[in-house]
Amino acid sequence: MSHIQPKIQTLLDKLNQIVLDKEEAVTLAVSCILADGHLLLQDLPGMGKTTLAHSLAILLGLDFNRVQFTNDMLPADILGMMIYNQSEQSFAFRKGAVFTQLLLADEINRSSPKTQSALLEAMEEKQVTQDGQTYVLPKPFFVIATQNPAQQAGVYPLPESQLDRFLMCVSLGYPSPKAERELLEGRDRRAMMGELVPILTSEEVTQAQREVKDIYIAPVVLDYLQKLVAKTRSSQEYHGLSPRGVLALKRACQAYAYVLGQDNVAIDDVQAVFSAVADHRLGQRFVPFHHLGGLTEMTIARRILDEVAID
């Protein structure tokens, strides 16, 4: 076992003290980062999405910028712009908020599609091109975006090309009555976040990403993974997973197993990450929750999991 994996367990424990009763969502979020992927958190306002993202940045020891997306925001507000220096009589590039290790794109679907698309190159190529000049982003680089339900006022649905850049899409849902009581009687979450200290360094995060790639996947597990993928491509209701989506699923499985301290991927790991990786790629824009925190309807991915047999 790597010396980093015990630290990851400590990280999970700290996150679960801040974001109560959401152990599975927290594990998926950490797995997404260690798989070198971007994370989309979608839910109603006030569910703890921003708290989870900010806490992750602190505990992972990453530089952090937060951008509050609005409908009048321009791409230059995120990427940066050329500024004229009168004393030197020349233009210089002023870097935007994207030049950080972890960018929190808060309420990303409140900005226009033009502004949303400004992140496409950064998320895929880890670089920004402005006025013909390419600027490399810091390493590691992640985007954690939050979005509100499409039925709320003033939101623009993320296009498929943008959704596909997110390795996982995770929803938190309402807390259980027990967790909500603890929130009411316990300490303020902002105060608790102020006491957090890094558990990993950015170098250890990069090392963990390399170690994730070495997690073994047996042929029988790959067979099951491919059966799930084939099932997504057999429907006329939605487009199936692309090759990029398949590779994303593989990385997510490896990272999830790594976070749990395993040295190989099990069938259970595939099932645990499949919804988070697949639903937003299959057209499941938003998964509603009822007041107890459970799903109100069967998602596309969960239906596929029920229909595909394990040999």
What are the helix (H) ranges across 41-92? 49-59, 75-79
Instruction: Give the bridge partners for 83, in sequence order.
Output: 92
Is-cis flag, bond preceding 140, omega within 30? yes
- Distance in angstroms (rounded) separating the CA atoms of residues 113 and 116: 5
Cβ proximity of 103 and 68 under 8 Å: no
Lowest mean pLDDT among 2-16, 25-39, 110-124: 110-124
Q: Which residues contact 254 (CB under 8 A, 6 or more apart)?
A: 35, 212, 213, 215, 217, 265
Q: What is the mean pLDDT of residues 51-57?
A: 89
3-state DSSP call for residue 265? strand
Domain regions of the chain by residue span: 4-307
User: What are the backbone angles phi and psi of residue 15, rounded to the nearest 5°?
Assistant: -65, -40
3-state DSSP call for residue 229? helix
3-state DSSP call for residue 263? coil
Other C-beta atoms lying within 10 Å of the C-beta of residue 281: 24
pLDDT of residue 187: 81
Q: Which residues of 134-153 are buried (b: 16+ CB within 10 A; e: fewer)?
A: ebebeebbbbbbbbbbeeee
Q: Cα dihedral angle (86, 90, 93, 94), rounded to 10 degrees?
A: -10
pLDDT of residue 291: 39
Enter the tokens of residue 249. Answer: 């699923």
**Does residue 296 carry a pLDDT above 50?**
no
pLDDT digits (tens, 9 = 90+) for 176-193: 888 888 888 878 888 888
pLDDT of residue 1: 57
pLDDT digits (tens, 9 = 90+) for 96-143: 889 999 999 888 888 887 888 888 888 889 988 887 788 899 989 999
**Does residue 286 carry a pLDDT above 80?**
no
Structure confidence at residue 285 as a pLDDT band (50, 70, 90): low
Residue 95: C-alpha distances to residues 102, 112, 135, 216, 248 (Å): 15, 21, 9, 40, 30
Q: Which position has the token pair 């943008």? A: 162
Residues in the chain: 311
Q: What is the mean pLDDT of residues 68-93?
A: 80
Domain 4-307 carries which CATH code?
3.40.50.300
- Distance in angstroms (rounded) separating the CA atoms of residues 130 and 82: 8
Residue 168: C-alpha distances to residues 17, 147, 150, 245 (Å): 22, 13, 18, 10
